[in-house]
A and B are shown apart, each in its own frame.
Chain A
């Protein structure tokens, strides 16, 4: 049982819900950048939410199924075809041996997910099937997919016709609010610098991958100080420290970077805020050009938003259990 990669698309990899517990030695959590859509793709085909799926970015792969199975495509909006015939997203569909899955042109969002009944059964490494490309392990041979790869899959049958209706699907507007908790090294910014971070939208640059999302906009101003021993000479430098996943660093005071799930785990740039966990999937679905407003919230508001997000996922899952 398997899937043959005929064309790999732009940046296509195997991901599940991640590999927690190894950040202290520099191994990031990895996992789908839009965990919500990845979990629901699994639910549609009758899998547990944490099973491994295919994550494609901007441009879809071309895949051939070597056996019959059941699939579902969620995440970013994109036309999906089996043997050239359009099939719906957010719905489980059966496929036959030798059927070919292709994608049209991305309509909105950035990352879309293909779940297969039984999951993509690449070996588990440190408790996860997620690809960690910088470390060259996990997923399929530790890398993005290439033409000719043959992915192992779990099962030939699964539920067909499960649908997630539009009110439960994420939206992908061209201008978004991303909620952040200020803190970390934000005391290094002047009041003007902090206002510059929060008062105007930032434009997502083309540098937006599984490691981080870089934004362009105004320059941030730092407070003057004699740099501490070991910190480096730029005012945005700190003595190298651990980077929270979702933290926003501003090297040189220009082009903030949000670290995502393949984050580098530490370094020498001051972080000034962290994206709340409930908004990480939203960030993961941003295409370059997306205008982004950073909206400060309290820790309690972040926890409340987390609860709402979890409840939403549970409600959709409950329809199918």
Chain B
């Protein structure tokens, strides 16, 4: 946990990269998020972007306004302050993402690119169940949808969240990526690679296993839905997500609400306290879900 395990490095003259840990963990991610929010609050002229990622922090800056050495001093100071915090917490929100698991769109796409997959027979959900020693797709879907996930990073392309499952490491779902990436993935696909679930914000290339699709946009450049009134991107680092399995009928019902512009995310503000989570993750998650769904 001490700051001497982190690595500071320059991405030439416009970026500082702080590698907090080589492995993914909620602790490393939490430090990245806490440093990001502390640095952001200082509103330093010359800092252009503060990008927390899974286990690292990227700062894009203008060296004409802010000398690199001054930036490094400041970030090291922020890291030290975050390290001594006895009870790291973030103010965030929890919301629900409805998913049609095993939908025909991602299944068809998966079939089209089967030659790039490690298992030619079956589909990605079946493969993921086998990889995790689970008894078929239904058991995998339950494991995926039952526990909440935290947004450990937003990026790759506009608005794409990386989600880390909020369960002890031995219970985290892990699935290798495709052997060779696909050139196509439907928009709003729920994908998974390594220990991360991602939601594809736009149609395009991808290497994650595909489990389903959500009818709800996460990226809306036209800002039609009310949840996008302030910004075209919905996900922020630290957001907590609960997936809910829906069927075809509900998928199309929600889709027509989206198209009518009336859909609202079910959401609630929450405070996430890391130590309390570590004490009893299942109990802590239950209280988070209470905030979302009521008793």
A18-26, A68-76, A165-173: which lies at the interface = A18-26
Contact flag A181-B24 (CB < 8 Å), given A232-B194, A239-B54: no
Among candidates B9, B177, B195, B235, residue contacting A230 with C-beta atoms closer than 8 Å: B195
Interface flag for B281 (CB, 8 Å): no
In this complex, what residue of B is CB-closest to A275?
Answer: B12
Q: How far is the CA of A230 from the CA of B36 in the complex (A)?
A: 21
Among candidates B23, B155, B176, residue contacting A25 with C-beta atoms closer than 8 Å: B155
Q: How large is the interface on B (under 10, 10 to 19, 20 to 34, 35 or more residues)?
A: 35 or more
Among candidates A27, A134, A242, residue contacting B17 with C-beta atoms closer than 8 Å: A242
Binary CB contact string for chain B from 133 to 155 against chain A (1 if under 8 A, 0 otherwise): 00000000000000000000111
Q: How far is the CA of A98 from the CA of B162 in the complex (A)?
A: 51
In this complex, what residue of A is CB-closest to B181?
Answer: A251
B43-51, B85-93, B283-291: which lies at the interface = B43-51
Residues of B within 8 A of A277 (CB): 12-14
Interface flag for A105 (CB, 8 Å): no
Contact B23 A231 (CB under 8 A): yes
Contact A244 B14 (CB under 8 A): yes
Interface members, chain A 224-244 (any B CB < 8 Å): 228-233, 238-244
Interface flag for B168 (CB, 8 Å): no
Q: How far is the CA of A238 from the CA of B221 in the complex (A)?
A: 31
Contact flag A245-B24 (CB < 8 Å), given A266-B51, A274-B10: no
Contact B12 A181 (CB under 8 A): yes
- Nearest Cβ on chain A to B184's Cβ, whole angstroms: 14
Interface members, chain A 1-42 (any B CB < 8 Å): 20-27
Residues of B within 8 A of A187 (CB): 7
Residues of A within 8 A of B236 (CB): 25
- Nearest Cβ on chain A to B272's Cβ, whole angstroms: 19
Interface flag for A316 (CB, 8 Å): no
Interface residues in chain A, defined as those with a beta carbon under 8 Å from any beta carbon in chain B: 20-27, 125, 132, 134-137, 142, 180-181, 183-185, 187, 228-233, 238-247, 264-268, 271, 274-278, 299, 302-303, 306, 310
Interface residues in chain B, defined as those with a beta carbon under 8 Å from any beta carbon in chain A: 7, 9-15, 17, 19, 21-25, 36, 48-58, 60, 63-64, 68, 153-160, 162, 169, 176-177, 193-196, 201-202, 204, 219, 221, 232-233, 235-237
